[in-house]
Structures are given as structure tokens and as C-alpha cells.
Amino acid sequence: MTSTVNPYGITPVDEIQLTNAPLLKVLCQVRWPQYTPISAAFDGIGDKLASALAADYPLRSSQQEMTVTLTPAGPTQNAGKTLLQFSSLDEDWTVTFGESHLTLETNAYVSRVDFMNRFRRVLAGLQEIVAMPHANRVGFRYINRIDNSQDYGDLESLVVSPVLGASAIEWPGAASMQHSINEALYTCNQARLVTRWAKLPAGGTIDPTIEPSNSNNWTLDLDAFSEEKKDFNPDFLIQTASDLASLAYSFFRAIIKDEFITRFGGAK
């Protein structure tokens, strides 16, 4: 049976907890314009933020932000500004702090309420250190992947045919499909939702930040964002993030079948 949830409706869809959800990664990011007090004292602010978050994220590391430049020889990657990362002891949760953004990422997502409570504390920690003027982008992203051979073989029973891409078109004996990648952009009031779904071979990926699977897989990437200027108030930003998560989740519920919920440990 196909879901009848409307992904564009204004009524939020209640989350159904999946005990074995095929979630690869969940992340939320708040961005702000280049702000001189942060740029001028980035290392010092990073030290203070590390101390403020140490109880939950005691592991610290740094890396260079990568930028892509288009040249006559093709795109090239260049090292950019420093990013500071603070992780939980089990490394399932990571906070990334840059000069113009703050991100919380996890591969151990439990619920929207749990995630938002964690990110609120992170945002509040930064706001206590430096008086942020405003944010100019909030984004929430769910990345799902099905690469178990049995589940991958049963995709037609789990999701609606439009998100099977070209694989939904039978072409027996004519050719062997190597991959199918689709992208769509939707607007909903002041928010936007970028949706990408793909059937990929082992080692294939739709995003260099997503580690490839060793098996054939179906990947669903839902990225909801708002680029409205907003006061840097942790509670207000979390409400915006929660609304974006709800938008992405509504789309997810619209394209899965009841069998998906049953297969991955949920109950309707």
C-alpha cells in the first residue's frame, strides 16, 4: 500500500520510530555572514567552545575546509579555512565549527526531539561566547541508504516507483543499467527542499562527503533549508530547524510504502 501523506501540507507528520532505520547520517547547520569578531579571534573562540561542549563532545580535532575551483583542466580542490571538530567519546556525534557556520552531525539518530535538544545546547554554547548578530541560513539533512542485498532487492515493495528512477523502466535484454540519479527542488513557503535519490553500484556515491557502500545501494538524500535572515536566538533557530526537519520527513513519508515501516522496525 502506498502512503497518502502530502509532503507539501502545513500539518506536520508525526514521526514513526524505526528501530532499524536505514539512516546513514543526519545533520543540521546554521550559517551566518562573515563576522569580524569571529574571524579575528577564531582560535580563542574555538578554545572556549571546546571547553563549553567538553562534557558531551570531549574529543577535538581540526581539518581544512575544501573548496572547488573550476579551471580549464577541470575542477580542482583547494584547502580553505580551518574547521574545528568536537566529537563524543563514541564518535557518533560531531560538532563542526567554522568561521561562518556551526554543524551538528550524527550517525546515531534517535529522534527529532533528541537531536534538537542537543543542537540547542550547542548553539547556546556559542551564543554565550560571542554575541552573534544573526543567521542567514538554516539547513537540515537526512541521508538514507539501503544496501542490504535483500532490502535492495525488495525496493519495489518499499518505495513508490518514481523514486526508483530509470530502474522502474523495464528494458529486458537491451542494456544493463549502471546507475540512476535523480534530483528535484521544491519550494514550500519560505523553505526549499532538495531531494536526490539514486541507485548506485558498489563504490558509487552522489556526494563526496558520503562514504561509498561496498554493495549496490539505493540512496535518498533530503536537504531542507531556509535562507531567511534570522536573529541568532537558539530557541528560534531550533524551531526553524525543526520545521525544516518536518518538511523533509513529510516528503520521506510520502514516498515510502507501509512495508518500509514494517521492514525497518516501525509500527503504524
Let me know if 255 is exposed, middle or buried by CB neighbors in 10 A (0-12, 13-18, 19+).
Answer: buried
Cell of 264: 525497518
Rounded Cα distance between 86 and 105, Å, is 11
Structural domain range at position 186: 23-169+176-263
The answer to whether residue 268 is domain-embedded is: no
The answer to whether residue 71 is domain-embedded is: yes
The answer to whether residue 14 is domain-embedded is: no
Q: What is the pLDDT of residues 63-104, one digit of tens each?
A: 887 665 566 665 556 667 899 999 999 999 999 999 999 999
Q: What is the pLDDT of residues 117-146, one digit of tens each?
A: 999 999 999 999 999 989 999 999 999 999
Alpha-carbon distances, residue 27 vs 7, 15, 72, 77, 144 (angstroms): 20, 17, 34, 23, 12
Rounded Cα distance between 213 and 201, Å, is 8
Q: Which helix (H) or strand (E) holds 42?
A: helix 42-53
Among 246, 13, 242, CA closest to 123: 242
The answer to whether residue 13 is domain-embedded is: no
Rounded Cα distance between 156 and 144, Å, is 16
Rounded Cα distance between 115 and 87, Å, is 15
The answer to whether residue 12 is domain-embedded is: no
The answer to whether residue 15 is domain-embedded is: no
Predicted TM-score (pTM) of this structure: 0.88
The answer to whether residue 9 is domain-embedded is: no
pLDDT in tens, the chain (268 residues): 344 444 444 567 888 989 999 999 999 999 999 999 999 999 999 999 999 999 999 999 998 876 655 666 655 566 678 999 999 999 999 999 999 999 999 999 999 999 999 999 999 999 999 999 899 999 999 999 999 999 999 999 999 988 887 665 555 666 666 778 899 999 988 899 999 999 899 998 888 888 899 999 999 999 999 999 999 999 999 999 999 999 999 999 999 999 999 999 987 6
How many domains, the chain?
A: 1
Residue 51: CB atoms within 10 A of its CB come to: 11
The answer to whether residue 157 is domain-embedded is: yes
pLDDT above 70 coverage of the chain, percent? 85
Rounded Cα distance between 20 and 29, Å, is 25
